Amino acid sequence: VHIGAVGRDGDWAIERLTEYGVDTRYITYGSTTGHAIIMVDRLGENAILIHSGANLEITERAIGAALGQSSTGDYFVAQNETNMQFEAASLAKKLGLTVVYAAAPFDVDVVQMMLPMIDILVLNQVEADQLQKATGKPPQDLGVAQVIITLGAKGCRWFNAETEVSKVFDAEPVKAVDTTGAGDTFTGFMVAGLDRGLPMEQALKLASRAGAIMVTRHGTADVIPDLKDIQDRFGP
């Protein structure tokens, strides 16, 4: 289920989500559809300029209606492109959902506000450093049960506050041509793996492999790999 907002110019986006099998009943209409201008350099690294548009016009009513259809144990995933993250995460937490928060685009004040609601925090190394500087606390002391720091070509680091386990997962060696969407792909596959019942270690391995394939492709949503792509390249 996707909770969001588009403009009247955004019917194509709803149609595309529907093609992907996403429940779009709770997408509302606002001003103009948000969009991003993505610039990619010769090394595959990107810079992104965002026009938020209707992304900042999500209503509390839509959030309540969508989350009202959820079940205890479902996963709620939020990022910073929209408004109402805190309100939505608070309701999700109250309903017994697992709250996953990808702290991008990074805003240290918003992240600190969200911390009490988060079960799983995903951020990159630069964001982790900025958050530690602002809070004076390392990732394992943020009060979040599980923190995942993505390290680009070096893989990712997982902190489990409950067991005090910290583990690094190496990335699959690939030649990156476009890193756009790699973080989103990683988070999506991690959550999908957890939702399928995989332990975190296996979910992170799956997510890392998905991200590795993603950076070898030019584009964003249309080139995100599926499970078959991952199994064909890396095995089951």
| Active-site amino acid positions | 184
Which structure tokens are listed for 68? 């009202």
Asked whether 139 and 147 are in contact (CB, 8 A), the reply is: yes
C-alpha R_g of the chain:
17
